Amino acid sequence: MRIFNKTMIVAAAVSAVMSGSVMADVKEASSEKHAKAATQYRQAVFQLVRSNMGPLGGMAKGALPFDESVMETNAVRLEQLADMMGDYLAVDTRKFDVETGAKDEIWESFSDVEKKVMALKTAAQGLQAAVNAGDESAYRGAIGKIGASCKSCHDDYKKD
C-alpha cells in the first residue's frame, strides 16, 4: 500500500512536470472587464516576444552583427515567454467585445495551439544550443526556425 501511494505521488509529480506551464485549459472570461484585461495581458506577452525577436531578426537579415550574448539572452527569454503563452492564450474572450487580433479558432483547437507554442519553445532552445556550441553557421537557420514558429501560429490563429 505504501509503495502504491509513493508510485501515485511520483506519477502525479511526473505528469505535473511533463505538462509544465505550457499546457493550459481553455477557460471563458467571466465578464467584459476580465476579457479586456486578459486581452491586454495576451497582447503584452506578444509585445515582449516582439522586443526579443526584433534584434534576432535583424541579425538573421545581416542588418545587425551576430551578438552571441544578445542571442543567448533573447533566446532564453523567448523560451520563458513560450512557457507563459499557453496560460495567457487560454482565456477565451470570444463572448465579449474586445479589440483583438486573435481568431475565434484559437479556442476551438487549443491542443494545436499548444503544439505551436511548443514549436516556438523548441526553436528558442535550438538557438541557445547553437550559441552554446559557438556554431556560427547555424545561427541564421536557428533564428529562421523561431520566425517560422511565429508565422505558423499567426497564419492559423491571428487576424490579417
CB-count burial class (<10 Å; 0-12, 13-18, 19+) for 57: middle
Stretch in the footprint of ligand HEC (CB under 6 A) among 5-13, 16-24, 98-106, 126-134 = 98-106
CA distance 96 to 7: 44
The 10 Å CB-count burial string (b at 16+, else e) for 69-98 is ebbeebbbbbbebbebbbbbbbbbbeebeb
The 117-146 site mask, x for binding ligand HEC (CB under 6 A), equals x--x-------------------------x
90 binds ligand HEC (CB under 6 A): no
Q: Which of 60, 106, 131, 142 binds ligand HEC (CB under 6 A)?
A: 106
Shortest Cβ 62–ligand HEC spacing (Å): 19
6 phi, psi to nearest 5 deg: -60, -40
Shortest Cβ 13–ligand HEC spacing (Å): 27
53 binds ligand HEC (CB under 6 A): yes
113 binds ligand HEC (CB under 6 A): yes
Shortest Cβ 41–ligand HEC spacing (Å): 9
CB 157 within 8 A of CB 105: yes
Give the footprint of ligand HEC on residues 13-52 (CB under 6 A).
39, 42-43, 46-47, 49-50
Size of the site for ligand HEC (CB under 6 A): 24
Q: Which among 130, 47, 119 is positioned nearest to 86, based on CA atoms?
A: 119
Residues 6+ apart with CB under 8 A from 104: 94
Chain residues binding ligand HEC by CB under 6 A are 39, 42-43, 46-47, 49-50, 53, 78, 100-102, 106, 113, 116-117, 120, 146, 149-150, 153-154, 157-158
